[in-house]
Amino acid sequence: MKKLLLILSVYAVISFIAIVLLTVFLINPPELLAEDLSAYKFQTGLHNYLVMLPAILLSGFLMACSVQWQHKTSNSKERFSQGMFIRYRNCMVIGLFVVLVLFLNKEVFLFNLENSLEVKRKAPSELSEAIHTARYFINEQQYHLAVQYAQKAVIVSPGSKEAAAVLKESSDLLEIEINSEHSADEIFHRVIGTQKPVHTQDADRSPYELVQKAQDAMNRKEWFEAHYWAELAVESCDEKNTNREAAIILANDSWNKLQHSEAYENEDERNYYFKKKEGYVALNSGDNLKAYYIYKNLLDAKNVKPTPDVKRFFELAKENVESEYFFFDETEHMNRLANRHDIYFSLTEDDGTKNVIFIRNSMDIKKNGGLVRYLEGFNLVKYRQDGTFMYSVKVPFAKVMAFPSADIGGKKWKNVPYVILQSVDRNTEGLVCRPEYSFIEDDVSDISEYQNSVSEEEQARISRINSMILPMNFDDFAAISEASAGPSQMPLLALMSFISKATQYGFSVETFYQCVVSRLMYPMFILIVLLFLAAMGWNYRIEDKTSTFRFKWMFFLPLCTGVFFGIFELTEYVSGILNYVIVGLFGSASVVMAAVCYIIMLFCASVLFVSRKE
């Protein structure tokens, strides 16, 4: 067995060196970034070697068997001899090792290497697209988005002068815009509540405790806090609660106190108070974005020290804003961490309408103990139950958070995706990115004759939607992202767990079953082939007992490997057809039935080998 392993190992190493060197010197690479050329050549050589690895190991195994069994065959004069069972045991040990190597090669090494090569092949087009998109947003005067795409271009190609120039241009224009005044009329607000830790913590207090906190604030002449706690107390009391009347009185008294200006030591303090009042009024009226910027400016003010109530109201305003918007800078690492493939799936609503969703990239980030997902190039097309077009929506970036389905009456899933479609600048008021809605299909040639059955009133309502809840399990998104790259690109465990959900998201369940069967049966398929080769190696072993192994024989192996590669590909193709037939016949039971079929074939291959005789 040592000689068998030695021959196999030496041939695998020689093949690696030869294939990588030939690839590096002979390859004609596609258009690549200059900095990726050398790595691409080496990785392509390594990829070619890993693709050929099954044929290399199988042909090496065949030759090693024919050499190994040159001597000591006298104990196999009859079929099913003890000597053949010993050889069978040795073949199974080596075979299991080869199976492990080839299984890891297919499921891990080739998978990661192909992803790396794909990233390098896409880099030139991604660079060009990022620069083009950045220039488009510059022309549209959306400089915050232009900066993000320019940053993506620089990350894809740090040495690109064009990318650096676009980044500088967009950054300079954004700085000019930030320093200029923006109309507050630009900002449109739509309030949808999400989990708000500060507000929830405050509102969870008992009515009596809230009234006491309001009274304490009144005693300290902190009118804003007094009104805040009193309002919470009123909200928490029903009509019969004895604390309700006291809460209403405190709320009215504190509000009246807010309306009267007091004596101030200087103009800065006076302006600070009125700004704080303006922010509080905005917060109570639901204008959270305005309140956020007011309180942020007050916190950043250098001439007046921020008061504790400003800090509290800023946190409240920020929480409210983050339920309606997300900040531009949240996606700054997206180009480094995003999955680099398109994501597509469909969702059917309870009313029969269907959402077809396409996403360019996605990025997951752990935040506050939960998972937050950012999407680039979010597109959604909605169809009626009869398949007619309703509308489409697209946005450069979107944010997805887990929303408890119980809060909207749902019972199917624990959490559903809450998608925020609008974003703002963290520091500068007026910089807003909103979704674009269209009620005309993309392939319509004559817009003048096109009629959408969605009424104008309904179109106006839909156009104001800046967030949405998708009817799906939040945790399924990661699996959908992997499934969009193809079932062969999914980790095996993820693939197996996703099969039951494939139809729900518009994927073909038969394709997924076939892939599962093929990948699960691959080790047994290799083991069966190895046993057939072992039997062949016995039949064509070196008969001359005086002949010794010569190193030059190794040079005949490449021809044998080439033949084996073709035979192995054909055999794997036939195996794939068999798997399709099994899936078609047995459906969800196909894995079990395939295992039975392969076990029978393995038994036949084992009988074939141990029945050999001298």
Could you read off the pLDDT of 524-536 as tens digits, one per residue? 999 999 999 999 9
Q: Are 527 and 602 in contact (CB under 8 A)?
A: yes
How confident is the model at residue 411, as a pLDDT? Answer: 59
Q: What confidence tier does 330 reach under pLDDT thresholds 50, 70, 90?
A: confident
Check pLDDT > 80 for residue 549: no
3-state SS class at 399: strand
CA dist 529 and 153 (Å) reads 48
- Which residues does 425 contact at the CB level (< 8 Å), separation at least 6? 144, 178, 327, 328, 431
CA dist 240 and 232 (Å) reads 16
Provide mean pLDDT across the span 278-293.
91
How confident is the model at residue 368, as a pLDDT? Answer: 60
Q: What confidence tier does 196 reach under pLDDT thresholds 50, 70, 90?
A: low
| Segment 140-157, tens digit of pLDDT | 888 878 888 898 889 889
CA dist 16 and 23 (Å) reads 11
How confident is the model at residue 517, as a pLDDT? Answer: 94
Check pLDDT > 80 for residue 90: yes
Q: What confidence tier does 10 reach under pLDDT thresholds 50, 70, 90?
A: confident
Tokens of 335: 């180009």
Tokens of 401: 């958070």
How confident is the model at residue 225, as a pLDDT? Answer: 87
CA dist 559 and 363 (Å) reads 47
Q: Are 267 and 301 in contact (CB under 8 A)?
A: no
Lowest mean pLDDT, pick from 100-114, 237-251, 313-327: 237-251
Q: What confidence tier does 551 reach under pLDDT thresholds 50, 70, 90?
A: low
Positive or negative, the CA dihedral 237, 239, 241, 243 is positive
Provide mean pLDDT across the span 244-268.
80
How confident is the model at residue 189, as a pLDDT? Answer: 33
Q: What confidence tier does 181 reach under pLDDT thresholds 50, 70, 90?
A: very low
CA dist 531 and 407 (Å) reads 59
Check pLDDT > 50 for residue 291: yes
Provide mean pLDDT across the span 492-512.
90
Determine how many CB atoms are found less than 10 A away from the CB of residue 188: 11
Q: What confidence tier does 327 reach under pLDDT thresholds 50, 70, 90?
A: very high
Check pLDDT > 90 for residue 45: yes
pTM of structure: 0.70
How confident is the model at residue 183, as a pLDDT? Answer: 34
CA dist 356 and 346 (Å) reads 4
Q: What confidence tier does 289 reach under pLDDT thresholds 50, 70, 90?
A: very high
In eight-state DSSP terms, residue 331 is: G
Lowest mean pLDDT, pick from 75-79, 275-279, 350-354, 543-547: 543-547
Q: Output the CA angle 49-52-53, nearest 5 degrees.
A: 80
Query: Which segments of 388-428 are extended strands (E)?
Result: 389-404, 415-420, 423-424
Rounded-to-5 percentages of helix, strand, coil across the chain = 65, 10, 25
Q: Output the CA angle 106-111-112, nearest 5 degrees.
A: 130
Lowest mean pLDDT, pick from 432-441, 463-472, 557-566: 557-566
Provide mean pLDDT across the span 162-169.
93
- Which residues does 240 contact at the CB level (< 8 Å), separation at least 6? none
Check pLDDT > 70 for residue 199: no
3-state SS class at 6: helix
pLDDT higher for 488 or 449? 488
CA dist 273 and 178 (Å) reads 25
Q: Are 358 and 518 in contact (CB under 8 A)?
A: no
b/e per residue 237-266 (b: at least 16 CB within 10 A):
beeebebbebbeebbebbeebbeeeeeeee
How confident is the model at residue 559, as a pLDDT? Answer: 83
Largest separation between any pair of C-alpha atoms in the chain: 115
In eight-state DSSP terms, residue 106 is: I
In eight-state DSSP terms, residue 107 is: I
How confident is the model at residue 314, as a pLDDT? Answer: 92
3-state SS class at 249: helix
3-state SS class at 362: strand
In eight-state DSSP terms, residue 273 is: H
In eight-state DSSP terms, residue 439 is: -
CA dist 316 and 423 (Å) reads 18
Check pLDDT > 90 for residue 131: yes
How confident is the model at residue 185, as a pLDDT? Answer: 34
For residue 420, what are the β-bridge partners? 399, 467
Q: Where are the domains of the chain?
A: 123-183, 186-327, 342-484
Percent of the chain residues past pLDDT 70, beyond the cut: 88
What is the SS3 assignment for 216-237? Answer: HHHHCCCHHHHHHHHHHHHHHC
In eight-state DSSP terms, residue 339 is: B
Q: Are 602 and 524 in contact (CB under 8 A)?
A: yes
Check pLDDT > 50 for residue 186: no
